[in-house]
Amino acid sequence: MLPACFYDYYVHNGKTSYVNVKRGDATDPTSGMIPKLFIPIVFILGIVIAVISTLLSKYLGGLSTDSTEQEFYHGHSVFVPLSSESILNVYDDHILTISQPNTELGKVQCTAASITEALASLHLALDMRLSGKQEKAIKLFQHAVALAPCHPDVLNHYGEFLEHTQNNVIKANEFYVRALTYKPNHEGALINSQRTARVVEEHDRIMLRRIDDKRNTLSNIPDNNAALIRAKKEAYFQHIYHTVGIEGNTMNLAQTRAIVETRIAVSGKSIDEHNEILGLDAAMKYINATLVNRVGSISIKDVLEIHRRVLGHVDPVEGGQFRRTQVYVGGHIPPGPGDIHYLMEEFVLWLNSEQAIRMHPVRYAALAHYKLVHIHPFTDGNGRTSRLLMNMILMQAGYPPVIIHKQHRHKYYEYLQLANAGDVRPFVRFIAECTEQTLDLFLWATSEFSRQVPALSQETLFTERHNTIILEDNEIEND
């Protein structure tokens, strides 16, 4: 179909020229050039329209995927934080390839004596299990794992005990995968891992759907709702308090709130502790004002700008700068300073890749957090920057910023270590549980009668509520 302007021009001028020729009237010699020029213009215009249509169809076709994870991410508005004026199936990434072998959890040196003792404890545990003495059995299993945390037989048998006696399929699968990390051809662990993998994946899918239902419920609450505004303000202070607390800051919640609101120092507390709070406040305001609503890819400059504010009050020289020395983080030895630029470029490429963006947002955000903290590109502030990046991704997908409670810092670091060993799923699951708890807090705070909400208290966050999923035969066949 031709545009109307071209069609009118063709009818008026083209037909007139034809009539004049038939009549033999003398006409301007340039009049015949108009139809001749018109045809190639239409031809070129048709090619351009065809190319644009092809590109649009490919782009829209790429968005309309059958993936369950794709439908979660698109079509949702961002989580709108308070303005600074008003408030002040990772299926491809289940097993990570670690470029630094010395970062593995399995590099714990086990002496011959400890392995012998661990195996003796394992045999006693198996005997106790057969005798029905489950409490003694679990203590012996735990003792064996503590002595030989990289022995595949110990890990596999403990997983079997958790699965069949404790009915904890999720945790059992984690131990099967750990056993395969240290011995990939371990027959028992391989069979057990394959058998339980379906149940674990189904558990994770159900959990993510439940989280998205709560996200959708929260998004239906108007932004000007008074209860929601109060909840956002309280969550803002809670987030600062817990995220600096994970790093060892000793300020309590009331002191944190006072510093953010009044900028008045708290007696008896160090300057660095004050500056950590002020830096995180500045970084969160920067993200809320610029990055959350921005359309486009995430760049290295964005990460550096976040870090510059995180560390700006504590160490202005190092803020927003990649480290130039080697650092050591517990059992993890991050890459050398000479590799930082290359690894960060790779990280940003992954961050903006189609594969990453099509993941469920919670998985995408958790993996972004882990990958950045694993590179450890800064001398200080890596954890805070990684958690802020994670929350930026979540807010862009409509979720509130996740609060990781300082009381759970040991679980947080334990799951990071497991990810270093090769299994990132426990860490992703941990972030998903924290996301759900944060959503529960918002929904409880905005409910008219403050009805009881599951997982409201910190103590109930990591109870084994959803460890077992029973699949009927017809569900397995129809999936």
Q: Which pairs with CB-CB distance under 8 Å and at least 24 residues apart come from 337-340?
A: 340/375, 340/377
Q: What integer pLDDT is reported at residue 123 of this predicted model?
A: 93
Of 168, 151, 149, nearest to 159 (Cα)? 168
pTM equals 0.74
Widest Cα–Cα separation across the chain:
115
Give yes or no for a contact between 419 and 96, defined as CB atoms under 8 angstroms apart: yes
What is the DSSP code (8-state) at residue 11?
Answer: I
Please give the Cα distance from 61 to 166 (Å, whole number): 46
- Please count the CA atoms within 13 angstroms of the CA of 128 that sit on its side-chain side: 18
Residue 156 counted as an annotated binding residue: no
Q: What is the pLDDT of residue 79?
A: 84
251 neighbors 241 (Cβ within 8 angstroms) = yes
What are residue 95's DSSP bridge partners?
A: 423
Distance (Å) of CA 435 to CA 205, 207, 404? 15, 11, 9
pLDDT in tens, the chain (479 residues): 444 444 444 444 444 343 343 334 444 444 454 455 666 676 677 776 766 765 555 444 443 333 444 444 445 678 888 654 443 444 344 444 434 433 344 444 567 888 999 999 999 999 999 998 999 999 999 999 999 998 999 999 999 999 999 899 999 999 999 999 889 999 999 999 999 999 999 999 999 999 999 999 999 999 999 999 999 999 999 999 999 999 999 999 999 999 999 999 999 999 999 999 999 999 999 999 999 998 788 999 999 999 999 999 899 999 999 999 998 887 788 999 999 999 999 999 999 999 999 999 999 999 999 999 999 999 999 999 999 999 999 999 999 999 999 999 999 999 999 999 889 999 999 999 999 999 999 999 998 654 444 444 444 444 444 444 333 334 333 44
pLDDT value for 284: 96
Per 3-state DSSP, the chain is made up of helix, strand and coil in percentages (nearest 5) of 65, 0, 30
* CA atoms within 13 Å, Cβ hemisphere of 344: 22
DSSP letter assigned to residue 270: -
Q: Is 20 flagged in the annotation as binding?
A: no
Which CATH code of 1.10.10.350, 1.25.40.10, 1.10.10.10, 3.30.565.10 fits the domain covering 109-196?
1.25.40.10
**φ, ψ dihedrals at 186, nearest 5°:** -65, 115
CATH class of 75-98+226-478: mainly alpha
Q: Is 420 annotated as a binding residue?
A: yes
332 among annotated binding-site residues: yes
Model pLDDT, residue 230: 93
> How far apart, in whole angstroms, are the C-alpha atoms of residue 224 and residue 59?
36
**pLDDT value at position 402?**
94
Q: Is 219 helix (H, G, I), strand (E, B) or coil?
A: helix
φ and ψ at residue 65, rounded to 5 degrees: -90, 160
Backbone phi, psi, residue 70, to 5°: -65, -40
Range 250-255, long-range pairs (CB < 8 A, 24+ positions): 251/277
Q: For 252, left (φ over 0), alpha (ψ -120 to 50), or beta?
A: beta
384 annotated as a binding-site residue = yes
Can you tell me the distance from the alpha carbon of 172 to that of 158, in angstroms, rounded to the nearest whole number?
8
| Predicted pLDDT of residue 39 | 66
At 343 the three-state DSSP class reads helix
Name the residues annotated as catalytic: 376
Rounded CA-CA distance 144/148 in Å is 6
By the 8 A CB rule, do 219 and 380 touch?
no
**pLDDT, position 159:** 95
C-alpha distances out from residue 139 to 150, 152, 168, Å:
18, 18, 16
Tell whether residue 275 is among the known ligand binding residues. Answer: no
Q: Are the beta carbons of 230 and 444 closer than 8 angstroms?
A: no
pLDDT at position 93, please?
42
Q: Known binder of ligand: residue 312? A: no
CA 172 centroid distance within chain: 24
**What CA–CA distance (Å, rounded) separates 425 from 363?**
9
Selection from 75, 82, 443 nearest residue 292 by Cα: 82
Q: Tokens for 136?
A: 């003694």
Helices 271-286 and 382-396, interaxial angle, to 10°?
30
Is the separation of the CB atoms in 407 and 267 below 8 Å? no
Consult the annotation and say whether 380 binds a ligand: yes
Terminal alpha carbon distance of the chain: 45
